[in-house]
Structure 1
């Protein structure tokens, strides 16, 4: 305590309401955190709907593709060949990239060149030309990959031959359909039946689908949708084959059912 003369100085009193030096200042306590706001249930449906796809986008893309295909088929058939070859080249590049992500290295350059050769030979030489083009493409894949060393050669070479077999060889049958005089109608019948398979399966699956075909692979694909796909394919294929291709009525049923089954199996296998 400070000393003034012989007497100690009087203590300094704090102002009214202020704590003294010896008093403890209470600490401010944090306000309790507000309770967590629970997420309210929403009635908004996912953009893809029950079938898991954007229907508007699918319809828009489909209409655009049909317009391009029909125009190229009936105006100048080589134009359709150019559209088809472009799509095949894109598919080859995409499949090669997907296999590369899985640590396989199919050589892209011989596959692209071989695709052009296969479709060109199919157009000019028919089935024999398509087979010869495939064999030359497979040989080119083996030789090209050999120049990159022995490490992983068998896996990469086998993947390259698989790409050549799965994409340009099978797509070459569309080129073979186009070659005859009624090739435009044949191709259009095939495309229309494929579209019917997708539309019929989608509609039946959304309206009646309750029993999934392969839940672990494609939960949205149902047996009811499969039946709708088969029926739609039959209804679409029969008029084309009977009226424009002079085929017996039952051929449309067989063709429609076969296409629906193969399209469904291919869809499940690609997932």
Structure 2
């Protein structure tokens, strides 16, 4: 799972109040290696498309692998920046169980694996004593919910007969939201949306995300899932909202940890977690809305 453009809170074109943009940096307002970011995004997108149009269940394998890497990145960032120790082994193993059990057993399988993971995390931390017990267990439960549990909803998009269309609709709207926000933010971004969280995210960028996401949602629901245009409008608007909130939530996490990126595995992107932030909550909302709008 990936975005095609820069992380929105790094990339949108707003300048801080009272500060003029430097002409020398105009060509790279995102502050990253944009060609490398685009190349990585295209490569990851191609891998997703190949999986969907060959053996669609391979998409679940891509999700599982991405979540495993993202979990390691999150655990490493917590440990190095805040001294918080996520129970990595239980969260990794339990996370894979959540994603793969969501395929044959749906919500029941994912939630059962999640509850068992929480129980194991509680026991796993016992030998470390009382100092920091609640902090470490809380972080472990957070990691198990934020990554694999949310991602299991993306896996649950695959099994229906029209599963390819469901996954594509989800991915297309998130990418459209990201691209629309990037373009509008760079061209028109002037008014910060949440300056205390992400100073470079602008209302103009959000407007671009909303316009692109709604258009993509309407087209996807009509042409990929035989849905109604109004359903696509609601779907697109909801995914833009959750994608934006996902960006803001991860920005808060990174700000709290005092880091810029969760990792450096992807050239021009940072860590894989920096690409999953908007996708994870959007997967949950996609599954909920598509289950309501589209006949199984």
Q: TM-score range by the shorter chain?
A: 0.7 to 0.9
What's the CA shift string for 1:106-146, capped at 9, x where partnerless?
11011111011111211121111011010011111111111
Number of the residue aligned with 2:14: none
Number of the residue aligned with 1:56: 35
Match of 1:208 among 188, 200, 204: 188
Number of the residue aligned with 2:203: 223
Match of 1:94 among 73, 97, 103: 73
Shift of 1:46: 6.0
Match of 1:175 among 139, 155, 177: 155
What's the CA shift string for 1:161-181, capped at 9, x where partnerless?
111011100010000001111
What's the CA shift string for 1:208-242, capped at 9, x where partnerless?
11111122332221101100000100111111111
Count the aligned residue pairs. 229
Shift of 1:103: 1.7
Structure 1: give runs of 5+ residues left out of the alignment. Answer: 1-41
1:105 equivalent to 2:85? Answer yes
| Mapped partners of 2:86, 2:128: distance in 1 | 11
Root-mean-square deviation (CA, aligned residues, Å) is 1.5
Shift of 1:52: 3.3
* Structure 1 runs of 4+ with >6 Å offset: none
Number of the residue aligned with 1:4: none
Number of the residue aligned with 2:262: none
Which SS does the other structure have where 1:104 is aligned? coil
Which SS does the other structure have where 1:220 is aligned? strand
Number of the residue aligned with 1:140: 120
**Contact 1:52-1:220 at 8 Å conserved across structures:** no
Number of the residue aligned with 2:107: 127
| Mapped partners of 2:176, 2:96: distance in 1 | 30
Indicate the structure whose relative CO is greater, using CA pairs within 8 Å and at least 6 residues apart. Answer: 2
Which SS does the other structure have where 1:169 is aligned? helix
TM-score by length of 2: 0.74
TM-score by length of 1: 0.81
| Mapped partners of 1:260, 1:83: distance in 2 | 23
Match of 2:44 among 65, 71, 81: 65
| Mapped partners of 1:263, 1:44: distance in 2 | 31
| Mapped partners of 1:61, 1:78: distance in 2 | 22
Match of 1:82 among 45, 51, 61: 61
Computing the radius of gyration from Cα coordinates, the structure with the larger value is 1
Structure 2: give runs of 5+ residues left out of the alignment. Answer: 1-21, 252-296
